[in-house]
Structure 1
Amino acid sequence: MVHLIYLDGVVNKDSLQENVITPLLDSTKETVNINSLIEDVSENIIKTAEVFVVKEYKELTDAIVNGGTVILFEGIELGIIAGTTQFKERNIEQAISERTPKGARVGLTENLNTNISLFRGMVKTPSLCVESMKVGKLTDTEISILYIKKVVDQNVLAEVRKRIDIISVNYVLEAMTIKEAIEGGSVALFAMYEDSEPPDAVVSSLYEGKVVVIVDGNPYAIILQGLFMSIFQAPDEYNQKYGRLMNRLLRFVGFLLTIYLPSIYVVLVNFYADGYPIK
């Protein structure tokens, strides 16, 4: 007896019918070797691109939650996982938080694999590395660390890996958990990371040797390390030939004036009031 287990709403029913159910029904008409049943089904019958044979119960439950279809045979302690995932996701749209008249007209989405495909399409080098890991005892939220091997700062990369590995939480729904782990217990006036939604800005950071962390379910990337001067950088500058340095300088001067002018005015009015004529 064959058992198919899946969650309705997160599987592609067309793929399930065409690549799993129909081949299994057709195979019942043929003679199947009972001694090598799992091997025959996984290698010769199931037609999905992703097929795994597993034994652990947790692997089966994780696959079901993530949209896979589990195939079990009565009396056999092994199970087959067929990749039939199809989650509902938002279409790729222009970035909302960092709109720019120039540059790419796309923004990151909540789907981790979609975001990785965007980066791979823009970074035309085999040196782009993607490391995947899961965080959260209950959710097993998938996160990915991206970097370009030839230019990345190995010390920063090692520290990012170390701080993510020690995360021990029940669930991860927002990227703030990852940010807090990266910052550790240190108290700083400015953040040690940057958030970015346009993929071209993230790709530029990769080429500069920075490390990028993306979390499944979050439509923006975490860029490490964050620099103070990056606050004064605008997305438009990646598509400008002239005036980039001057624009950043003007923003920095405006920042200084905003910080110091009110205090200077208060000092002059309160401590040097006699020097001003009274009308």
Structure 2
Amino acid sequence: MQRTNTTNTPFPPSQQLERLGTRKVTQHNQLTLNVLRSMFDKNDDLTTRTIDILGHYEVTVLYLSNFVNNERVNQDILKPLMETNNSNLFVKRGQVVQFLLKQVLNFGEAYAESMLTKLAEALFRGNTVILVESLNEAIVVSTRSVDHRTPSQPETEQAIRGARDGFIESIGVNMSLIRYRLQTPDLRMESMEIGRLTKTKIAVCYIEGIADPDVVKRVRERLNKIDIDSVLDAGTLEQYIEDNHWSPFPQLQNTERPDKSCAAMLEGRVVILTDGTPFALIAPTTFVQFYQVIDDYSERWVMGTLVRAVRLVSLIFSLVLPSLYVAVISFNPELIPTKFAVAVASGRAGVPFPAVIEVLVMEVSMEVLREATLRLPQQVGGALSIVGVLVVGQAAVSAGFVSPITVVVVALTTIGSFATPAYNAAIALRILRFLLILLAGTFGLYGIVVGLILILNHMLALRSFGVPFWSPYAPFKAEGMKDAPIRAPLWTMYLRPKEMSPENDRRVSEETVQYAKSPPKRQRRSLQRGPRRGG
């Protein structure tokens, strides 16, 4: 059965836009109006207003009332156009458009356009179109206005001494937050549109003279090859431009923090902003970035190194501890000290399941609890996490379903995963944790070793826009080790990461390094004694 079209037009608006091709504005406003109105057939927010200017020229103003700043349209477009009738100016018909652009309209972004497709796309983007009778060109004025929240502290990346502002859904505000911190003419923000239906604005940000041109070229080429209907989130772009789609590890880092994005660009990386989402993508990405936070550089190097070491230990705990417990309990109990082995055996007395089943059940329960806590309202989520940990854990131990030592191991593992700053990297470690538990329950310590070798081999083969994912560990970069397992003093990290292949690799001058190495000794102020009393 042939499908009938219930609209008044023979083709959908998108096909009409394609069929316009290179058609231009006609000299009769009514014909142009009919074409534009046919694309907004069932949209009640299309507003048209016809007025006279300069005494005898007729113009028609079109805009989407729910997508523009109506106050600016009234005050800066309609009112100035009507006030031209009170002047005694004479303007030739062929010069009306230029007269309006140069002397009447108070907008920074206003231009003449003669293509019908461009006028229709301008209306879809929230601009205002001004048609002049008997002329083959119209005026497009940027009047788009979208309500958005003000920048606030990022919820997913807390900082103690860092900045308190974060990205929001408006790409214009996000670009201004970056420019506020990088006030240099070398900052580049290349804009493009992706999405046949959404026309989502994308901005590729980098610092010319620092970022590797090959990396910038790769990012630009991969984005240009994306041809999809919609881009509603930065995660959509991430899944199309990453190197390995089957890897559990993310090859792009996402962040809500403008200061973190600027720090990445100062290292030679590229930041991708997406309109409609508060998350920016950072490329290329290495594994060490997933346990680095902005507070590491705000504190002195001793404290920064200590906190980073705690974070690394927590990361290892979250990956290896459950599988190590299963392997030792099931295959190598002789490795446990005698007194501790007696305590473990008494705790496991009466438990009907082997250690691997215990750990898997508790890990799955914690994952369910974690997901429920995230999806519930904030007022209820905290209470659920407390109830789940205390009540469910204690009930499971009392019922003899699991042993107390298993609850302790799973609790330490969960806390260690919470200490991982990057949420997507923590998810990857959680997936691999289950794999190691299964290998440990089947082959013991040999299974853990084989599993870790497979994970390490995968990470060594992984690339992010041509940059090794495991750098600076492999290939080994001595300069990069100053900011990988430790956080060396800032004045010792005077070179940018070698793996980024920056054009300008020095970020601290030689004079500053020498001054920091040997600061001048404080000069004692000489104290001159005054005359003695009565002397």
| Deviation string, structure 1 residues 108-146 (Cα, Å, up to 9, x no partner) | 111111111111011132211110001011221100000
Deviation at 1:250?
A: 2.5
Equivalent residue number for residue 5 of structure 1: 62
Deviation at 1:151?
A: 1.3
The 2-side partners of 1:12 and 1:265 are apart by 62
> Which range moved further: 152-161 or 236-245?
236-245
Any idea what SS the aligned residue of 1:5 has? strand
TM-score by length of 2: 0.50
| Deviation string, structure 1 residues 83-108 (Cα, Å, up to 9, x no partner) | 22221111121111112232211111
Within-5 A mapping of 1:1-279: 1-29=58-86, 30-184=89-243, 186-242=245-301, 243-273=303-333
The 1-side partners of 2:128 and 2:297 are apart by 44
Greater Cα radius of gyration, structure 1 or 2: 2
> Which range moved further: 136-145 or 29-38?
29-38
The 2-side partners of 1:240 and 1:69 are apart by 50
Contact 1:10 1:88 in 2 (8 A): no
* Residue 202 to residue 238, structure 1, CA distance change in 2 (3 Å): farther
The 2-side partners of 1:238 and 1:184 are apart by 30
Q: What is the one-letter code of the residue matched to 1:46?
A: L
Unaligned 5+ segments in structure 1 are none
| Deviation string, structure 1 residues 124-175 (Cα, Å, up to 9, x no partner) | 3221111000101122110000011121122221111110000010111111
Contact 1:128 1:147 in 2 (8 A): yes
The 2-side partners of 1:88 and 1:69 are apart by 18
Contact 2:67 2:126 in 1 (8 A): yes
> Which range moved further: 249-258 or 68-77?
249-258
* Residue 89 to residue 274, structure 1, CA distance change in 2 (3 Å): closer
> Which range moved further: 101-110 or 234-243?
234-243
The 2-side partners of 1:236 and 1:46 are apart by 48
Unaligned 5+ segments in structure 2 are 1-57, 336-340, 347-535
Q: Which has the higher strand share?
A: 1
Deviation at 1:254?
A: 2.4
The 1-side partners of 2:205 and 2:257 are apart by 15
The 1-side partners of 2:104 and 2:71 are apart by 17
* Superposition CA RMSD, Å: 1.9
The 1-side partners of 2:267 and 2:276 are apart by 26
Contact 1:67 1:87 in 2 (8 A): no
Higher relative contact order (CA 8 A, sep 6+): 1
Q: What is the one-letter code of the residue matched to 1:13?
A: N
The 2-side partners of 1:117 and 1:237 are apart by 25
Contact 1:98 1:197 in 2 (8 A): yes
Between the aligned residues of both structures, percent identity stands at: 29
Q: What is the one-letter code of the residue matched to 2:312?
A: F
Deviation at 1:274?
A: 6.8
| Deviation string, structure 1 residues 50-76 (Cα, Å, up to 9, x no partner) | 111111222212222222110002232
* Residue 34 to residue 251, structure 1, CA distance change in 2 (3 Å): same
> Which range moved further: 8-17 or 111-120?
8-17
Contact 1:67 1:84 in 2 (8 A): yes
The 2-side partners of 1:274 and 1:131 are apart by 62
Deviation at 1:196?
A: 0.7
